[in-house]
Structure 1
Amino acid sequence: MPLAVEQFDLRGYDVVISSSHAVAKGVLTGPDQLHLSYVHTPIRYAWDLQPQYLREAGLERGVKGALARALLHYMRLWDQRTAAGVDVFVANSRYIARRIRKAYRREAEVIYPPVDVESFTLHEQKEDFYLAASRMVPYKRMDLIVEAFSQMPGRELVVIGDGPDFEKVRAKAAPNVRMMGYQPFASLKEHMQRAKAFVFAAEEDFGIIPVEAQACGTPVIAYGKGGALETVQEGVSGVFFPEQTPRAIIEAVERFEQQTWTPSAVRQTVEGFGAGRFRQQFKALVEREWSKFVASKAGGRYPE
């Protein structure tokens, strides 16, 4: 992928905007081009999440493990080197801005990504079930949610999503856990509107789906790390659990049920995450940085 992204010929453009979760920021640009990189995360599997990815892929030991570590070492060197080709870093959350600072020693302006909050309309009437929805991959930790609710037979959990870990997750499901697999958008939205709470156990860079749930007026029970800390307001639109364990989720559900939740107040907390706000902020950023870049050409130095 690093080799492939370096083959793009972008010489005909004044401004290059890369949207990067891995290698896109490595595109080659010249001194008369402004490169802004909207970073969703530095390469997860090459930086601080390397041990987790190696463990989940079964590459902790052996020859394959050694080769994987060598390859990821090369990826880190390439990733850090290509950071020098970015004029302006933009992060999708304060959490990712901190990761950019750690990996690249660069500051990043934060612009939250656009969420289609208008499509997820407020629904005041909630029903007596919890909802979890995600692609079934290891870092989403859907297995923990299912395991937690399987220990709470009096509470119903609906699970929407498919992926490599589906059968593994379904094997942990008790009768009170309904595994629905992949569902079209209309079904996901309907369940989101009707659920009493949305349960989210991943450590996400930003996490769009908890924002969509809150736009429906549905509070969120989330792992208290990563982007969720910037989108969920404790006591107003949800509660946090401190560890990725079934016990912590169970305790969070119990705390959630001790409070009273107002769907309209939950929705209010996320109305500022809409697409219009994103367009306005990103357009202003590009225009500001382009003006600074043009001015710097005369002076020979891009201003900090």
Structure 2
Amino acid sequence: MIRRCIQINLQPGWGGGEIYTVFFTRALLAQGVPTTLYVLRDNTRWTSELPPGVDIVPVAGAAEMLTSLQACEAPWVVCQTPLDLPALEVLRHPRRLLSCIAHMPLYGRDPRRIAGHDYVIAVSAHVIASLQAAGISQVHPEPLLGIADLAPRPAGDAASGVVRRSRYDWDMRKGRDRLLSWLAPLAASFARAEAYRKKPGITLGIVSRLTPIKQFPLLFSLLAPVLARHPDVHLEIFGAGGYASVRDLDAALRPCRRQVRFWGQQPDVAAVYRQIDYLLTGLPEKEALGLNVIEAQACGTPVLAVDASPFTETVCAGVSGLFFEDPRHDGGASFDALITRLERQAFRIDPEAARDHLARFSAEAFAQRVGRLCTAVNNKGVPG
């Protein structure tokens, strides 16, 4: 029996990796494994998100975390972001298993940081394949697929429903972003608050942080001209991103600008999924899993995705979603044909047919996967 798991998540913001940390922690507790979580002192959101019984250790940064961990017994350490090699050497001990969760595929990334860990846990078979291709063999064989966590996120105006919010997620380390973060709320205060209303026709939704790994600007440089040929198809974007990401996406969408609206990040994503017809994903190869894909299907919203991993892991073709050819290969012809098909006849998820597929992403299934992970860790001789 594992006496305790020490987790490390020193991310300053809140995204998919932090949500994953929360339900990984819940699953550990369900297996009877208590956990201690090291977090940044400035990220105060953890106290409202984590279940009771979690020992939260706020630190100023990595140096304080390393000093603290050196001084305590920590047989199983799980890094939610791979530690750098010097930090790993500080923590390495014959009776300690240093593991990390690979939240991203190794697409164009240096494998040395992940390879320095004793045991690597991946969130999808797509990520496992990328690790193995890089020669990393100490990988847990079962992907630790995520779950659909649809509880509303804390927000000061969460009760106001789906309303227009800022499309920008400001990086306060940059002078330009700091200045714009002050000016944007001032400009918004003069604008009329707008609640979301679904338009007649087909609604495609993006429900995602607008980050480079999604490759939305590249995707819509190919798909925006296709959408422009279907004026009754609307693209609603629920998410925020850095200034450059939003700028590049906005530029790529110029051919279909009249069909596009930005709504910013929403605290209640379940309400969003239920007011769109289809979730549209980004491009696949830099994506690890896609929690939004899992969430949408759990809400009964079909997914439209490129026919490639990891989406082929998380979407059941013809049951919970539909695939189209990568537009970099065919210029968007397959996507065009798919939209034409949906204009003629809508596609809906059959709950009965999708039941077994969706059960893979339940909290119960995730807890079972974490249980098998704990057994594998025990078999590696982690002190109990």
Is TM > 0.5 for Structure 1 vs Structure 2?
yes
1:212-268: CA deviation from partner (whole Å, max 9, x where unpaired):
111110110001223211010111111112213443422332344556423524763
- Tell me whether 1:15 sits opposite 2:48 in the alignment: no
1:7-32: CA deviation from partner (whole Å, max 9, x where unpaired):
82434211111223675996332111
What value does the CA root-mean-square deviation take over the aligned residues? Answer: 3.5
Distance 1:206 1:94, change over 3 A: same
Is 1:135–1:162's contact at 8 Å kept on the other side of the alignment? yes
> Equivalences for 1:122-271 in 2 at 5 Å?
128=201, 129-143=203-217, 144-145=219-220, 147=224, 148-163=226-241, 164-171=244-251, 172-173=253-254, 174-186=256-268, 188-203=269-284, 204-245=287-328, 246-257=332-343, 258=345, 260-265=347-352, 268=355, 269-271=357-359
Deviation at 1:273, TM superposition (A): 0.9
Distance 1:280 1:159, change over 3 A: same
Q: Higher helix fraction: Structure 1 or Structure 2?
A: 1
How much identity, in percent, do the aligned residues show? 22
Is 2:103–2:123's contact at 8 Å kept on the other side of the alignment? yes
- Which of 83, 88, 94 in structure 1 is aligned with 2:115? 83
- Please tell me the residue identity of whatever aligns with 1:177: Q
User: Take 2:64 and 2:265, find their aligned partners in 1: how far apart are those partners?
Assistant: 38
Structure 2 unaligned regions, length at least 5: 1-9, 11-61, 153-198
- Please tell me the residue identity of whatever aligns with 1:281: R
Is 2:140–2:373's contact at 8 Å kept on the other side of the alignment? no
Is 1:170–1:179's contact at 8 Å kept on the other side of the alignment? no
Number of equivalences: 257
Deviation at 1:292, TM superposition (A): 4.0
SS where residue 365 of structure 2 aligns? helix
Is 1:215–1:266's contact at 8 Å kept on the other side of the alignment? no
Distance 1:44 1:24, change over 3 A: farther
User: Take 1:43 and 1:5, find their aligned partners in 2: how far apart are those partners?
Assistant: 26
- Please tell me the residue identity of whatever aligns with 1:278: F
Distance 1:5 1:38, change over 3 A: farther
User: Take 1:25 and 1:198, find their aligned partners in 2: how far apart are those partners?
Assistant: 42
User: Take 1:139 and 1:15, find their aligned partners in 2: how far apart are those partners?
Assistant: 30
1:10-59: CA deviation from partner (whole Å, max 9, x where unpaired):
3421111122367599633211112332212355442xxxxxxxxxxxxx
Is 1:198–1:210's contact at 8 Å kept on the other side of the alignment? yes
- Tell me whether 1:104 sits opposite 2:184 in the alignment: no
> Equivalences for 1:43-54 in 2 at 5 Å?
43-46=106-109
Deviation larger for 284-293 or 151-160: 284-293
SS where residue 36 of structure 1 aligns? strand
Is 1:21–1:39's contact at 8 Å kept on the other side of the alignment? yes
1:122-160: CA deviation from partner (whole Å, max 9, x where unpaired):
xxxx97422122223344233334613233212222122
Partner of 1:50: none
Deviation at 1:179, TM superposition (A): 1.9
Structure 1 unaligned regions, length at least 5: 47-74, 120-125, 296-304
Is 1:21–1:42's contact at 8 Å kept on the other side of the alignment? no
Is 2:359–2:365's contact at 8 Å kept on the other side of the alignment? no
User: Take 2:228 and 2:82, find their aligned partners in 1: how far apart are those partners?
Assistant: 34
